């Protein structure tokens, strides 16, 4: 099995059509929120981590996210890793997550300049990063539980929950 399998053109169109429709996704640098997720959800303010000089906080988010995803994904299953207006991928949290020259995943988990979404293939749960709102939204009861169990250091300030 391999990781970071680029979505086909058809899969890419279908998943983004679903994101726009199901989440009422309206990308904006100033009008928030840009999407609506089903309940239950928690929105974390991650603005204090935008200019963090130590990378252990980012590594902690990556590690804790993989642990939370692994609790909900079987070893042979894949989920979506989406970077708005860039290639999207099938990923498996049990497989290797190589990093680029900036020490980031192919699609970073921290929203440092674009919308980054990590979503279950059936949209049962997900993690949505908003770069201008400076938030990470977790939706789905089981994923919320996973992040409560494996809480990232940066998940200190809750903006909203529903």
CA distance 69 to 55: 21
- Find the farthest-apart pair of alpha carbons in the chain and give their distance in angstroms, rounded: 41
Domain that holds residue 13: 5-161
Pull the structure tokens for residue 42: 């928690």
44-72: per-residue pLDDT in tens? 999 988 766 558 899 999 999 999 999 99
How many domains does the chain fold into?
1
- For the four alpha carbons of 29, 133, 121 and 69, in that order, the dihedral sign comes to positive
15-33: per-residue pLDDT in tens? 999 999 999 999 989 888 8
pTM for this predicted structure: 0.95
Asked whether 49 and 154 are in contact (CB, 8 A), the reply is yes
């Amino acid at each position: 099995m391999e990781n970071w399998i680029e979505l086909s053109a058809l899969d890419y169109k279908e998943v983004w059509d679903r994101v726009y429709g199901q989440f009422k996704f309206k990308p904006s640098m100033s009008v928030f929120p840009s999407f609506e997720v089903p309940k239950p959800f928690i929105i974390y303010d991650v603005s204090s981590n935008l200019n963090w000089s130590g990378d252990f906080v980012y590594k902690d988010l990556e590690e804790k996210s993989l642990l939370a995803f692994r609790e909900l994904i079987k070893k042979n299953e894949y989920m979506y890793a989406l970077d708005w207006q860039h290639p999207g991928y099938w990923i498996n949290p049990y497989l290797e997550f190589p990093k680029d020259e900036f020490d980031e995943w192919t699609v970073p988990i921290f929203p440092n300049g674009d919308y980054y979404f990590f979503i279950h293939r059936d949209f049962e749960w997900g993690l949505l990063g908003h770069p201008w709102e400076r938030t990470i939204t977790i939706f789905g009861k089981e994923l919320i539980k996973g992040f409560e169990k494996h809480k990232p250091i940066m998940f200190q300030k809750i903006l909203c929950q529903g």
